[in-house]
Amino acid sequence: MPGEKILLVDDEAEIVELISLYLKKEGYEVLCSNNGAEALEMAKEHRPDLVILDISLPGMDGIEVCRQLRKSFSTPILFLSCKSDDMDIILGFSIGGDDYITKPFSPGQLVARVKAHLRRSHLMEQHKEDSQHLYFPGLEVDLISRTVKVDSVIAPLSSKEFDLLLHLAKSPGKVLPLEQLYKMTWGVDSNGDTRTLLVHISNLRKKIETNPAEPRYVQTVRGVGYKFNG
């Protein structure tokens, strides 16, 4: 939506200039910072609708900036990084990041992801007043009766399948690592054995997806975990 504020935090001037150019063409207001401390102050003052955050910042790195932001903001946070190692990606998601984009990247793809996260954020705001239901295209989750409707037809979910879907659907677009999702659902650590989770995800997809092999809602993020596409 034109006019939305995006906080861009990166110490590489060329990248800041390039991203700003593409975002401004889409009508966004872009606030720029090249360090973590300043970025936190700008976030408090301007309350951006989305944050694009480089991990490798001088001084306070992007991971710590994200941790601090998450104490006060639910704003979508998109990490930028030259690192593509799975552990770095998992760390980024586990401390509150919503997406992870590896440098070099396509500016057009970045803008597309920004739009997607803002769209999901708006949907969540629209339905925030109705705390008893979650609504998505073709899918309704009733938190009181613990039922799920797919195209207005009740899907026969087990208790754990419902819990898994609920954890994912409460944060559309946010990636939940396997270990975190397991602990949220079963209340204990998986001790490295997540086969139970994988089986439940497979069964859940069979019940809510038109084509479980190409899921629309519960999507796999390779090497990390799962996210819900609302």
What's the pLDDT at 129?
A: 47
- State the CATH architecture for 127-228: Orthogonal Bundle (1.10)
Biggest CA-to-CA distance, the chain: 53
Best CA proximity match to 90, nearest among 168, 180, 8, 171: 180
Helix (H) or strand (E) segment spanning residue 24? helix 13-25
Q: What is the pTM of this model?
A: 0.63
Helix (H, G, I), strand (E, B) or coil at 108: helix
Q: Is 5-125's fold the same as 127-228's?
A: no
Q: Name the 3-class secondary structure at 208.
A: helix
The DSSP output letter for 128 is T
Res 122: pLDDT: 74
Q: Block means of pLDDT (10 residues each) for the chain, length 230 residues? A: 87 94 95 95 95 92 92 88 75 82 89 88 62 86 91 90 93 89 84 84 94 93 90
Tell which CATH classification among 3.10.310.70, 3.40.50.2000, 3.40.50.2300, 2.60.40.420 matches the domain 5-125.
3.40.50.2300
pLDDT at 131: 67
Domain map of the chain by residue range? Answer: 5-125, 127-228
The DSSP symbol for 58 reads S
- 218-224: long-range pairs with CB below 8 Å, 24+: 218/165, 218/168, 221/175, 223/86, 223/89, 223/90, 224/86, 224/89, 224/90, 224/93, 224/175, 224/177, 224/178
